[in-house]
Amino acid sequence: MQLLTCSAFYIFMVDLSLFDENQVGNPNNNIFGLPFSEEDAALVLVPVPWEVTVSYGAGTARAAEHIFKASLQVDLYDLDYPDNWRQGIYMRAPEKKIMLKSDFLRKEAELYIDFISKGEDLTANKFMCKSLKDVNEGGRLLNQWVFEQTKELMNAGKLVGLVGGDHSTALGYWKAIAEKHGKFGILQIDAHADLRPAYQKFTYSHASVTYNGLNEIPELERVVQLGVRDLSHGEWDYICNSNFRVVTYFDREIRNRLYEGDTWRAICHELIEKLPEKVYVSFDIDGLDPKLCPNTGTPVQGGLEADQVNYLLRKIKQSGRQILGFDLVEVGLGENNWDANVGARELWKLCNILLD
pLDDT tens digits for range 145-171: 999 999 999 999 999 999 999 999 999
Distance in angstroms (rounded) separating the CA atoms of residues 72 and 106: 30
Question: Quick one: DSSP state of residue 208?
Answer: S
Distance in angstroms (rounded) separating the CA atoms of residues 119 and 27: 50
pLDDT at residue 13 is higher than 70: no
Topology of the domain covering 2-355 = Arginase; Chain A (3.40.800)
Distance in angstroms (rounded) separating the CA atoms of residues 296 and 18: 38
SS3 label, residue 258: helix
Do the beta carbons of residue 331 and residue 145 sit within 8 Å?
no
pLDDT at 7: 37
Computed over every residue of the chain, the mean pLDDT equals: 94
Dihedral pair phi/psi, residue 350, rounded to 5° = -60, -40
Residues 6+ apart with CB under 8 A from 337: 66, 69, 70
Q: Quote the radius of gyration of the chain (alpha carbons, Å).
A: 20
User: Between 56 and 230, where is the model more confident?
Assistant: 230
Is 139 buried (19+), middle (13-18) or exposed (0-12) by CB count in 10 A?
buried
pLDDT tens digits for range 285-330: 999 999 999 999 999 999 999 999 999 999 999 999 999 999 999 9
Which amino acid would we find at residue 45? L
pLDDT at 24: 82
pLDDT tens digits for range 114-137: 999 888 888 889 999 999 999 999
pLDDT at residue 209 is higher than 80: yes
pLDDT at residue 260 is higher than 80: yes
Query: With pLDDT > 90 as the criterion, what percentage of the chain qualifies?
Result: 89
Q: Is the dihedral of CA 346, 304, 183, 196 positive or negative?
A: negative
Distance in angstroms (rounded) separating the CA atoms of residues 325 and 260: 34
CA 289 to chain centre: 17
Region 31-60: what's the mean pLDDT? 94
Q: Is the dihedral of CA 64, 67, 71, 72 positive or negative?
A: positive
pLDDT tens digits for range 65-95: 999 999 999 999 999 999 999 999 999 999 9
